[in-house]
Amino acid sequence: MTEGLHIADIVAGYGRRRVIDGLTLPPVPPGTVVGLIGANGSGKSTLLKTLAGLIGGTGHTRLGDHDLRRLSPALRARLVGYLPQTVMRPSSLAVYEVLLSALRATWPELTRARADQRIEAVLADMAVTDLAMRPLGALSGGQRQMIGLAQVLVRAPRLMLLDEPTSALDLRWQLSVLERVRGEARDRRAIALVAIHDINLALRFCDRVVVLGEGLIAAGPPAEALTPAVLRRAFGVTARIETCSHGRPIVVTDGVAAGAIRDQEDIP
Binding site for ligand ATP (CB under 6 A): 14, 17, 19, 38, 40-46, 85
Q: How far is the CB of 251 from ligand ATP (least distance, A)?
A: 17
Question: Shortest gap between Cβ of 223 and ligand ATP (angstroms)?
Answer: 23
Q: Please say which residue, 40 or 264, places its beta carbon nearer to ligand ATP.
A: 40
CB of 55 to ligand ATP, least distance (A): 8
Nearer to ligand ATP, 123 or 239 (CB): 239
3-class SS of residue 167: coil
User: What order of strands is seen across the sheet that includes strand 215-220?
Assistant: 80-83, 159-163, 191-195, 33-38, 208-213, 215-220
What whole-number distance in Å separates Cα of residue 161 and Cα of residue 192?
Answer: 6
Tell me how far apart the alpha carbons of residues 44 and 50 are, in angstroms, rounded to a whole number: 10
CB 154 within 8 A of CB 122: yes
Question: Is 16 or 172 the residue whose CB approaches ligand ATP more closely?
Answer: 16
Interhelix angle 112-125/141-153, rounded to 10 degrees, is: 130
173 vs 235 by CB, closer to ligand ATP: 235
Residue 13 Cβ vs ligand ATP, minimum distance, rounded to whole Å: 7
The DSSP secondary-structure symbol of 156 reads -
Distance, CA of 69 to chain centre = 19
Cβ closest to ligand ATP, residue 95 vs residue 225: 225
Question: Please, which residues have CB within 8 angstroms of residue 261's CB and are 6 or more apart in sequence?
Answer: 233, 236
- In this complex, which beta carbon is closest to ligand ATP, that of residue 10 or of residue 99? 10
The helix or strand, by DSSP H or E, that contains position 125, with its residue range, turns out to be: helix 112-125
CA distance 212 to 233: 10
DSSP H helices in 17-94: 44-51, 73-79
Of 205, 108, 87, give the one whose Cα is nearest residue 155. 108
CB of 102 to ligand ATP, least distance (A): 24
Q: Provide the minimum distance between the beta carbon of 233 and ligand ATP in the complex, in angstroms, as a whole number.
A: 15
Q: Which is nearer to ligand ATP, 18 or 78 (CB)?
A: 18
CB of 30 to ligand ATP, least distance (A): 25
